[in-house]
Amino acid sequence: MPELPEVETTRLGLVPRVVGRRIRDVVVREPRLRWPVPRDLAGRLRGAAVSAIRRRGKYLLFDVGAGHLLVHLGMSGNLTVVSPDRPVRRHDHVDLVLDSGDIVRLNDPRRFGAVLWVRDPERHALLESLGVEPFDGAFDGAWLRRAAHGRRVPVKQFLMDSRVVTGIGNIYANEALFAARIHPSRPAGRISRPRLDRLAAESRAVLSRALAKGGSTLRDYVGSDGAPGHFQLEYAVYGRAGEPCPACGAPVRVARQAGRSTFYCPACQR
């Protein structure tokens, strides 16, 4: 589930119940995530207050005392606030027990997620090379033009490159390229400036719509039953191979790029 809108929805759901609280304890049931959960994590966090929860790309940063707790949800992770009587389920790997009694619980079947301690986010390897945020004003056609200059990589892979712009995953890359009418395998450096302007705008628009949907299910998303209960955006092309293009009716095509499925309309996207 977690693309940028889901991560931001998670953040918004956590803030009111977590910011300002102290961490009473940390329970690590399974430390083998993408990287091992630091052994001294509980020692660092116990007793500390969470002063803010921020997001950079798809990384969540809990500001706590002398450093930050970094959480990434990988492909299958979710972070919910649950009450202490909630039974532990399969893949409930990490709990933050708050002084309110609430528990912030990470469930992640595939274990591609991460829970790390970060002293200085500005100089952390996972964060320092990240590109612009899609909702930042700096993300526009000029930014894409600079980053794409001379590059022959297919624009879809370019758009998913977190060093260029953070948080655009496979679904939204497909949707943004469709909305901008750009063929996913076109070399990034060979797209005109006006089309890059449109690509930036459409990328932002697609993410905004998804975020608006996520926001409307916020209560469910971090609710007491923990059911993610999303309510998905209608995708124009993603997952719709063979179905008619919503713009022209031609069958949506699926191809493989860098090991990922790419959905596009061969008639509309050039």
Active site residue 6: no
Active site residue 3: yes
SS3 of residue 14 by DSSP: helix
Residues 46-65 that bind DNA (CB under 7 A): 57-59
Residues 74-93 that bind DNA (CB under 7 A): 74-76, 90-91
Q: For the CB of residue 94, give the shortest distance to DNA in the complex, in Å.
A: 15
Active site residue 260: yes
Question: Which of 11, 50, 18 is closest to 215 using CA atoms?
Answer: 11
* H-state helical runs in the chain: 4-18, 41-45, 125-128, 141-148, 155-159, 170-180, 193-216, 218-221
SS3 of residue 53 by DSSP: strand
How far apart (Å, rounded) are the C-alpha atoms in residues 150 and 75? 31
- With CB under 7 A as the contact rule, the residue among 21, 34, 181, 209 that binds DNA is 34
Q: For the CB of residue 98, give the shortest distance to DNA in the complex, in Å.
A: 26
| Residues linked to residue 230 through DSSP beta bridges, in sequence order | none
At residue 243's C-alpha, the angle toward residues 242 and 247, to 5°, is 125
Task: Based on DSSP, count helices (H) and strands (E) in the chain, helices before strands.
Answer: 8, 10
User: Between residues 19 and 126, which has the closer beta carbon with respect to DNA?
Assistant: 126
Catalytic residue among 44, 58, 105, 198: 58
Active site residue 156: no
Give the range of 13-21, 40-48, 98-106, 168-176 binding DNA by CB under 7 A.
168-176
Binding site for DNA (CB under 7 A): 1-3, 6, 32, 34, 57-59, 72, 74-76, 90-91, 109-112, 125-126, 150-154, 157, 160, 162, 167, 169-171, 230, 232, 258-261
